[in-house]
Amino acid sequence: MHDADAALSVVPLTGIGEVQPGDDLPRKIVSSLEAAARHLENGDVIVVTQKVVSKAEGRLVAVDAGRPGAKVELVERESVRVLRRRGELLITETPHGFVCANAGVDLSNVAEGYAALLPQDPDRSARRIRAGLHRLTGSEVGVIISDTFGRPWRRGLTDVAIGCAGIAAVIDLRGSVDANGRELVATEVCIADELASAAELVMGKDRRIPAALIRGAPSSWFRPSSVAAEVIRPHGEDLFR
């Protein structure tokens, strides 16, 4: 699939600063790279956090966090179904099909009195950023929009992909043979989530690093793609919905 010696590098993009509705994220990403004397290359992957995408797209709503129930009402409005409820924490399904805490509604790193909602169509957001980066640099890159989700059974949050463009979300190794010539069954790897997690490691949560560059992904991973189509598990397939 790729050179045995192929290493990946994961580089935080610094200096992007505060993002406002209408901001041009591709331009901010390119400026950050240039300030670090770096340039996009074909086959790079750019991971951008949901929060700055939501801000740039104006997905901010006023919420009176002081009024009891205000946040829960907002979460219910952003959900199609509530799976679990414990106090103010709701695990819900969003219209996109994501199952996550509080419908992905986020109050941290947002101006006081406001919450950031998920992008309406994160795959579209990724495609737009990818097109913008291509326009500015001529490079064909993969773009992943990441968010921080919890999961059952394991403590701690990890970053996953909520949208992608130009890089596979899931690669399918079914039909490949293992080292003993035995056919591998059902080995579908969600590389988009793994790339989002790798990017989180250089971003941290308490600092303004909303994007990362990953270099070294194998060329076979680059193709038209969609988290909605490849990662969201249809209800009928899911043993836990």
The residue range among 4-12, 54-62, 121-129, 130-138 that interacts with a copy of itself, by the rule CB under 8 A, is: 4-12
Report whether 51 contacts 23 (CB < 8 A). no
Asked if 206 interacts with a copy of itself (CB under 8 A), we say: yes
Which among 161, 233, 162 has a CA at the least distance from the CA of 195? 161
Which residues in 50-116 belong to E strands, given as ranges? Answer: 60-62, 81-86, 89-93, 99-101, 114-116
Asked if 67 interacts with a copy of itself (CB under 8 A), we say: no
Asked if 164 interacts with a copy of itself (CB under 8 A), we say: no
> Nearer Cβ to a copy of itself, position 72 or 131?
72
Minimum CB separation from a copy of itself for residue 16, in Å?
11
Q: Which of 61, 70, 136, 170 binds a copy of itself (CB under 8 A)?
A: 170
Q: Which of 41, 205, 219, 224 binds a copy of itself (CB under 8 A)?
A: 205
Q: Which of 69, 204, 223, 224 binds a copy of itself (CB under 8 A)?
A: 204
Structure-token pair, residue 172: 């399918």
User: CA 57 to CA 152: how far, in whole Å?
Assistant: 30
Point out which residues pair with 48 in neighbouring strands. Answer: 145, 211
Minimum CB separation from a copy of itself for residue 172, in Å?
9
Asked if 81 interacts with a copy of itself (CB under 8 A), we say: no
H or E stretch including 72? helix 70-77
